[in-house]
Amino acid sequence: MSSDRSTGEVVVLARGRLSSPTVGYDLPEQTQPPRADTDLPDRIGRYLVLEVVGVGGMGVVCTAYDPKLDRKVALKLLRERELADAVRTTTGHARLHREARALAKLKHVNVVAVHDVDVVDERLYIAMEFVEGESLSRWFEQRARSWRELVAVFVQAARGLAAAHDAGITHRDFKPANVRIEPGGRVVVLDFGLALAHGVTDGPVTDGDELASEHDVRLTAVGRRVGTPAYMAPEQILGQPVGPAADQFAFGVSLYEALYGTLPFTGDLQTAMWNAIDGKLAPIPKDREVPGWL
């Protein structure tokens, strides 16, 4: 994907499976047309903006240089008008920084490192480790993978989730598009903690939510949950409090999809969600060489 320095806002996964092969963060299939009012400054906080790598409805993803620590980072930015009320307030800012500190303390090879979170000129930014490679979704869709290959990769992702859970952090939007595989084979789980920036609330998924795609649309309306319906645990769909179990559910759905090439709960979006709530699995495909014990 070509970069466009003239546009800008953070990617909020409208099409989660479409991602750049060279940037560690999910990007839409096409950037929006350039708009004069979304130009990025040359500097955001202490970071020198290098290039915009993706634009979404609520923000921009760009690469940047950190002169203090002499390293390249990825920046996600949100406009102030897109921030949830929970983040705009003094209490919300404090909560955001507590979350950022918890994430910054989470040092694990399979979790993207979060360096900094702040608001500058009415833009919230999150500075993260720059991760090269391709998304897990793109990786397993490129060609047929053996179940052993798939399990080996998912084990690394599971270790990242487990480390986050041990630190008291729940992802809330785990899916193949939020996992990246570096050229050297390292598997990295991305986008921890971004639910907070979108003002996550506990409320059931309803027809009023923006659910245009059962696979890839991330709920991004201000004040609503962050999550992707196809991977949501029943408690998340119903708007109940979520914790590590919701991530484990999403992990299981993701692994099933990778192994069998389809989701475990089928039908249109609403039907699939109710099937998930009721635990009604679709028939297991017979054309995949997956051992029964798995």
pLDDT in the model for residue 139: 94
Q: What is the CB neighbour count within 10 angstroms for residue 40?
A: 20
199/179 same-domain check: yes
239/151 same-domain check: yes
Least confident piece of the model among 102-111, 160-169, 176-185: 102-111
Domain assignment present for residue 3? The answer is: no
pLDDT in the model for residue 84: 54
d(CA 254, CA 241): 21
pLDDT in the model for residue 95: 64
Start-to-end CA distance of the chain, whole Å, equals 37
115/84 same-domain check: yes
For the record, the structure tokens of 164 come out as: 């986050």
pLDDT in the model for residue 60: 82
Domains contained in the chain, number = 2
Report the CATH number that the domain containing residue 90 is assigned in CATH: 3.30.200.20
pLDDT tens-digit readout, 147-158: 999 999 999 999
Single out the catalytic residue among 173, 191, 216, 247.
173
Spatial neighbors of 1 by CB under 8 A, at least 6 apart, are 20, 27, 31, 53, 54
pLDDT in the model for residue 50: 94
For the record, the structure tokens of 116 come out as: 């900094």
E strand or H helix at 246, and its extent? helix 244-260
Domain assignment present for residue 9? The answer is: no
β-pair partners for 74: 63, 128
Task: Find, among 29, 7, 11, the residue nearest to 194 by Cα.
Answer: 11
144/219 same-domain check: yes
pLDDT in the model for residue 2: 35
d(CA 281, CA 202): 25
9 alpha-carbon distance from chain centroid:
16
SS3 of residue 196 by DSSP: helix
Domain assignment present for residue 16? The answer is: no
Domain boundary among 83, 108, 129: 129
Report the CATH number that the domain containing residue 199 is assigned in CATH: 1.10.510.10
Q: What percent of the chain has pLDDT over 90?
A: 30
Q: In what order do the strands lie in the sheet with 71-79?
A: 43-44, 47-55, 59-66, 71-79, 123-129, 114-120
Helix, strand, coil distribution of the chain in percent, nearest 5: 30, 20, 50
pLDDT in the model for residue 187: 97
273/158 same-domain check: yes
Q: For residues 174 and 189, is the Cβ–Cβ distance under 8 A? A: yes
Pairing of the two strands 114-120 and 71-79: unpaired
Domain assignment present for residue 288? The answer is: no
∠ Cα 210 258 20 (to 5°) = 65
267/218 same-domain check: yes
Q: In what order do the strands lie in the sheet with 187-189?
A: 134-135, 179-181, 187-189
pLDDT in the model for residue 138: 93
Task: Find, among 279, 191, 263, the residue nearest to 12 by Cα.
Answer: 191
Spatial neighbors of 115 by CB under 8 A, at least 6 apart, are 66, 73, 104, 127, 128, 129
Domain assignment present for residue 7? The answer is: no
pLDDT in the model for residue 202: 46
Read off the pLDDT band of 57 (50, 70, 90). low
Domain assignment present for residue 139? The answer is: yes
Domain assignment present for residue 10? The answer is: no
Our answer to whether residue 173 is catalytic in this structure is yes
Structural domain span for residue 177: 134-278
Top-confidence residue, 42 or 215: 42
Q: What percent of the chain has pLDDT over 70?
A: 66
Q: For residues 217 and 210, is the Cβ–Cβ distance under 8 A? A: yes
- Using only C-alpha atoms, the chain has a radius of gyration, in whole angstroms, of 18
51/82 same-domain check: yes
122-145 b/e (C-beta count within 10 Å ≥ 16 → b): ebbbbbbbbbbbbbbbbbbeeeeb
